[in-house]
Each structure stands twice: as C-alpha cells, then as structure tokens.
Amino acid sequence: MQASTLLPTIAVFSLVTVEFGGHALLRLIAVQHGTLTALRERFFRAGHAHAGVLLVLSLAYFLYLPRAEFSSGAEWLFGILLLAGVLAQSGGFFLHLALGAEGRSSPGTHLTRAGAVLIAAALIALGVGLAQHL
C-alpha cells in the first residue's frame, strides 16, 4: 500500500473523530463541571480548530505528495512526519489545558511548538520535491 493512499484515509477518519470528540467532550465538561474557565475554553477550541484545519491541510498535502516523485520510503517518512506534527501541535493545546497555567509555558506549549516544526519540515520537503519537478 502506498503512503498517498493510506495516510489520507487516516486523516479523513481523524477529522470525524475531531468533530465527534469536540462535541462529546464539550458536552461532557459542561454537564459535569459547569462552564469552562476562559483559559480552558481557549485551549479547548484551539486544539480542535488546529486539528481540523491541519487535517484538511494534510489532505491537500497528500494530493501533491506523489507529484514530488519521492521514493516510497520518503513519501512514508514525510507523510508520517506531517501527521505526527498535526497530532503534536493540536495535542499540545490539550496537554496545556490539563497541565498549564495562564501566562506560563508548559509541556503542552513545547509540544505545540514541536508540532509546528514537524509540519514545517514536511511542507518544506514537499515544496523542495515539487520545485525539482517544475
């Protein structure tokens, strides 16, 4: 199986889980704990928003990945790098939601930044691959 077949399938099903998870978790928190604090609400929204937008970005990425004519191994590497970055960046918001405090860095903020670096690396790799085949 090719990376450009399996990885977008994972991204599409992940979008469904992001939608369902956002709805279910927000409802669960509202029922069990009342309202969210402003900080928790911001990070809760940011985590889901980033996950959704970045997964849609990954779908476009996987359309262009074969056009870069990378080896199969490189396609897997860059595709997994992108999805790991999406998971890390959006997951970092949720980790900060659990461990962080307003105005202070936490393991979640570090994970979010690391995710951004992984996404950037995957995008740069694709850009270079596409530029080589202009």
pLDDT tens digits in sequence order for the chain, 134 residues long:
889 889 999 999 999 888 887 777 777 666 666 666 777 778 888 888 899 999 999 999 999 999 999 999 999 999 999 999 999 999 999 899 888 888 889 999 999 999 999 999 999 999 999 999 88
- To the nearest 10°, the Cα dihedral for 7, 10, 12, 18? -130
What pLDDT score was predicted for residue 41? 75
What pLDDT score was predicted for residue 32? 63
DSSP 34: S
| CA 8 – CA 43 distance, rounded (Å) | 26
What pLDDT score was predicted for residue 98? 85
What pLDDT score was predicted for residue 52? 92
Q: What are the respective helix, strand and coil percentages of the chain, to the nearest 5?
A: 85, 0, 15
Domain map (residue ranges) of the chain: 3-131
- The total of other beta-carbon atoms located within 10 Å of residue 46's CB is 18
CA distance readout (Å), 109 to 21, 32, 53: 21, 26, 19
- What is the SS3 assignment for 36? coil
The torsion angles phi and psi of 67, rounded to 5 degrees, stand at -70, -20
| CA 109 – CA 131 distance, rounded (Å) | 33
What pLDDT score was predicted for residue 55? 95
| CA 44 – CA 52 distance, rounded (Å) | 13
What pLDDT score was predicted for residue 28? 64
